[in-house]
Structure 1
Amino acid sequence: MNRIPSLALKVDFLKRLDYDILCLQEMRLKTHVDVCELNKMWNTAHSIISIGEDSSDGVGIFFKKDTVNIIKRRDIIPGRLLLVDCCYYGQRLRIINVYNAPERTKKIQLLKKLKYLLEIGFNIILCGDFNIVTEATDRISKVKFRELRESKLLVKVCKEAALRDLYRHFGGTVELFCYHHEMPYDRL
């Protein structure tokens, strides 16, 4: 595996970040051997990883401390939609990590599945890359913003589940887009 040195650098970088729970998308792990290697390198606490068929698939949920008790793990859509129910610092929690496909029909299928996963009686963390723009301020383009069917569905699903965008809820106003990173993508 010639990818291991590169993977080791990425894991070292991620371990140095200040977080409790880390959700990653587009992990690009191809085999279960890759997943096992990453789990060995991680060795901080729990890591839950789902890989899919496409080379860019892959979502993972990583915990820095071992104060988590994993109750249930489900690959709803392998490499695209991962659900973990856990007990974290005494709180029951559902973490859902999404890496939505670029194709419109797949986006809508994922959102329809997601809707039912949000119907629970305890706290939810929903994170990921939805590949959907819901507001004109979330993009830079000369083309006029038009709310698409999948945008409306995502907004509806979040509203019905009483979810809030915590970045905006706590006053985040800086325009950040997915292609802005502290480090170039190829160095992560």
Structure 2
Amino acid sequence: MCILTGNQIVLRITSINVNGIRSAIKKKFLDWLYNKNPDIVCLQEIRIASHDIKNELLNPLGFKGFFYPAQKNGYSGVGIYTKKQPMKITRGLEDKNIDSEGRVIRIDWEKISIINVYFPSGSNDERQKAKLIFLQKFELYLKEIYSESILSKRNLLICGDWNIAHTQMDIKNWKNNLNKPGFLPEERNWLSEIINNYNLVDVFRKLHPHQEQYTWWSNRARSWERNVGWRIDYQMANNSLANLAISSEIYMETRFSDHAPLTIDYKTEI
């Protein structure tokens, strides 16, 4: 099911790190979803165990939910809400250490494959090492899916919290963060190579080439109030799909999380 706007069929896709799905729902996230009416919602950092995903979380507002929680309760995890039954769901990277954290879920429809991913943050030295390993493993995973999407002529979209601000425009205080995880040269170079090697397009940046807007704010130093943020949440699409993007929004009127939802409309079906 896609939105019909005038004579156009529009596929509306939202991506958001909810920082705990139950917490976001308490902050009226479902009310916002009802009004926004996306077709597909990619959720990161759901922070809920499998046995706690009750029906009201699994199938709200006519959505069908597919989740991949972390083994550790209250940590990480991803999920996708969709209004159209997918052809196939694939969870994980086939790496037990990474997959125990529930970071990748892929869903295929006839015309599009969507990968929903939650990259490690690199919050300390140990986690930064884990992040760099994840980047290597994810690239191998993406290489295979990219080749498959070309053969199948299926569009490819990667949604999620990448935990990397790509350019100086994507972070408010870039000079003060040059040596911090999320803006390290090796991370940004990796992202540039991924974009170039697999012909991906940062769809928000395509639609807004000069707009300084962010998707995540630290809970310290009144960062939200002062809009001292980072743009680390992306929808990365192949060229064919990116060319069908017609509008985007980073919603900031209400806070459901320390991230803002990114919604993009595409002139296509799934």
TM-score (norm 1): 0.78
Q: 1:15-35: per-residue Cα shift (whole Å, max 9, x none)?
A: 332322111112222x21222
Give the distance between the partners of 2:25 and 2:256, measured in 1 at CA: 13
Q: Distance in 1 between matches of 2:42 and 2:197?
A: 23
2:105 to 83, 95, 105: 83
Aligned-residue CA RMSD in angstroms? 2.9
Aligned-partner SS, 1:72: strand
SS of the equivalent of 1:185 reads: coil
Cα distance change on mapping 1:79 and 1:19 into 2, 3 Å: farther
Q: Which amino acid aligns with 2:161?
A: D
The normalised TM-score by structure 2 is 0.57
Bigger shift: 72-81 or 163-172? 72-81
1:169 equivalent in alignment to 2:240: no
1:158 to 195, 200, 204: 195
Unaligned runs of 5+ in 2: 1-20, 94-98, 123-127, 150-154, 218-223, 225-251, 261-270
User: Is the Cα contact below 8 Å between 1:57 and 1:79 reproduced in 2?
Assistant: yes
**Which residue of structure 1 lines up, in the alignment, with residue 45 of structure 2?**
26
2:74 is matched with 55
Contact persistence 1:136–1:145 (CA under 8 A): no
1-structure distance, mates of 2:121, 2:23: 30
How far off its partner does 1:58 sit? 2.0
- Among 120, 133, 136, the alignment partner of 1:109 is 133
Q: Does 1:184 align with 2:255?
A: yes
For residue 136 of structure 1, what is the aligned residue in structure 2? 168
Runs of at least 5 residues in structure 1 that lack an aligned partner in the other structure = none
- The equivalent residue for 1:72 is 89
- SS, match of residue 124 in structure 1: strand
Q: CA deviation at 1:79?
A: 4.6
Alignment match of 2:185 (pick from 148, 153, 158): 148
SS of aligned partner of 2:132: helix
Amino acid at match of 2:253: E
Paired residue type of 1:157? I
